[in-house]
Amino acid sequence: MGTGWVWHELYGWHDTGKAAGFMTGPGLQPFGHFESPESKTRFASLVEVSGMLDHLVRVPARPATEADLLRVHAEEHLASMREQSADPRGGDMGDGLSPFGHGGYDIARWAAGGTMAAVRAVLGGQVENAYALVRPPGHHAVPERGMGFCMFANIGVAIRYAQAELGLRRVAVVDWDVHHGNGTEAVFAADPDVLTVSLHQDGNFPPDSGTIGDRGQGDGYGSALNVPLPAGSGRGAYLHAMDRVVLPAVRAFHPELVMVASGFDSANGDPLGRMMLTSGVYAEMTRRLMDLAGELCGGRLVISHEGGYSPVYVPFCGLAVLETLTGHKTGVDDPYEPIWSRWPGQELADHQRAVVDAVAELLAEVPRPTLSDR
Ligand SMILES: [Zn+2]
């Protein structure tokens, strides 16, 4: 079995307009929106030019249906997106910072459908693991509205689809995007069958979200874990968080599928984050999650693309993840890795360790499977 690959040309056609970063207004000369096509289309281009494409199994995407979206989202949100999408001037996903062009609703349905297709291919045994390079991203979208450049909760929609139609129940979602995976967490906050673990930059986005005390609700209490790492965290902090929190939490939870919300905005040089990761660290995190999925659930691992706003560096991070998933080295090396991996600050610092170790204290409350689940 190989590694599945989801990409569709339409994902590059989602139009975020001419914002200066993510702002428009007086004094702001129109430029480009940070959530531009380039970081993703250049990733897809590098996959082809490096020869990686020949080592992947193409998984065709299909648009999510309205019934698929309604398993997660409110009818009012769909109606609003449909209506604004029909306007030639486009609209906004819900927070005034997340524009989309004419027809953007349909592209977002293809994005959610791309993640669904990756899950379907892995659960159906066509591939062992998969990477869905979809756009717009999904991990900030909450059931009632879009936000943070996300219209629909791609991972949430895919999990609810697989639970409804493919017999899946227990899923663990690991989010390494630099921002809190608040949307994924909100979808499953009260659901003890879905564990969400978010590693993110403390206080970045959304504001006041993803604190250590943010643990899920009701029956789902304990099924949300947040590791708000201090700005400036690098390889040492992230691998400590993987080893002390992510791996033991997922192992205790014992899922049938592991998913990753893969944002490369936790990489060095990203305009929206202040972390220091290099492509090699994403490869190391991928290796750990592959081994864990192999131990727990037949290797079933689905990675769905989220943020990452450096058009130059995102492609190298993505290629490193794919080289790890496939075991195939393309020979195209990340030219920044030897420089950035040696920067002071990559090693674990005491104030970073303190945050991770505080979250590790909470692992006893991660829901365990009952005997009938095993
Ligand atoms: Zn992000």
Q: How confident is the model at residue 42 (pLDDT cuts 50, 70, 90)?
A: very high
- Which 8-state DSSP code applies to residue 289? H
Mean pLDDT in the chain? Answer: 97
| The one-letter amino acid at 116 | M
pLDDT at 324 over 90: yes
Residue 213, in any domain of the structure:
yes
Residue 98, in any domain of the structure:
no
Candidate list 14, 77, 140, 305, residue with the active-site label:
140
**Separation CA 186–CA 229 (nearest Å):** 20
Residue 77, in any domain of the structure:
no
pLDDT at 254 over 80: yes
Q: How confident is the model at residue 1 (pLDDT cuts 50, 70, 90)?
A: confident
Separation of 355 CA from ligand 1 center, angstroms?
20
Closest C-alpha among 322, 351, 327 to residue 233: 351
Q: Provide the pLDDT for residue 370.
A: 83
Give the strand pairing for 127-132 and 301-305. Answer: parallel
CB atoms under 10 Å from CB of 352, counted, come to: 22
Query: Tell me: the pLDDT tens digits for 171-228?
Result: 999 999 999 999 999 999 999 999 999 999 999 999 999 999 999 999 999 999 999 9
Residue 275, in any domain of the structure:
yes
On the CB side of 219, how many CA atoms lie within 13 Å of its CA?
Answer: 6
Separation of 91 CA from ligand 1 center, angstroms?
21
Look up 55 and say whether it is catalytic: no
Residues 144/75, Cβ–Cβ less than 8 Å = no
Q: How many residues does the chain have?
A: 374
Closest C-alpha among 50, 56, 98, 46 to residue 312: 46
List the CATH number of the domain containing 44. Answer: 3.40.800.20
**Separation CA 165–CA 91 (nearest Å):** 32
Backbone dihedral angles phi then psi of residue 336, each to the nearest 5 degrees: -85, -25
Separation of 137 CA from ligand 1 center, angstroms?
9
Residue 25, in any domain of the structure:
no
pLDDT at 138 over 90: yes
Largest pairwise CA distance in the chain: 62
Query: Tell me: the pLDDT tens digits for 346-373?
Result: 999 999 999 999 999 999 999 999 866 6
43-62: burial string, b at 16+ Cβ within 10 Å, e else: bbebbeebebbebbeebebe
| Boundaries of domain holding 130 | 3-13+32-60+110-373
Residues 258/300, Cβ–Cβ less than 8 Å = yes
Query: Tell me: the pLDDT tens digits for 143-177?
Result: 999 999 999 999 999 999 999 999 999 999 999 99
Q: Provide the pLDDT for residue 374.
A: 55
For the whole model, what pTM was predicted?
0.98
Residue 236, in any domain of the structure:
yes
Share of the chain above pLDDT 70, in %: 99
Q: Provide the pLDDT for residue 36.
A: 95
Task: Output the CA–CA distances (angstroms, integers) from residue 54 to 3, 124, 283, in the order listed.
Answer: 11, 22, 20
Separation of 233 CA from ligand 1 center, angstroms?
15
pLDDT at 30 over 60: yes
Question: What residues have their beta carbon closer than 5 A to ion ligand 1?
Answer: 177, 179, 263, 265, 307
- DSSP codes of every residue in 104-154: HHHHHHHHHHHHHHHHHHHHTTSEEEEEE--SS--TT-BTTB-BTTBSS-H
Closest C-alpha among 162, 170, 120, 119 to residue 372: 170
Count: domains in the chain? 1
Separation of 308 CA from ligand 1 center, angstroms?
6
Closest C-alpha among 123, 369, 166 to residue 257: 123
Residue 117, in any domain of the structure:
yes
Residue 68, in any domain of the structure:
no
Separation of 265 CA from ligand 1 center, angstroms?
6
Share of the chain above pLDDT 90, in %: 98
Closest C-alpha among 260, 278, 268, 267 to residue 325: 260
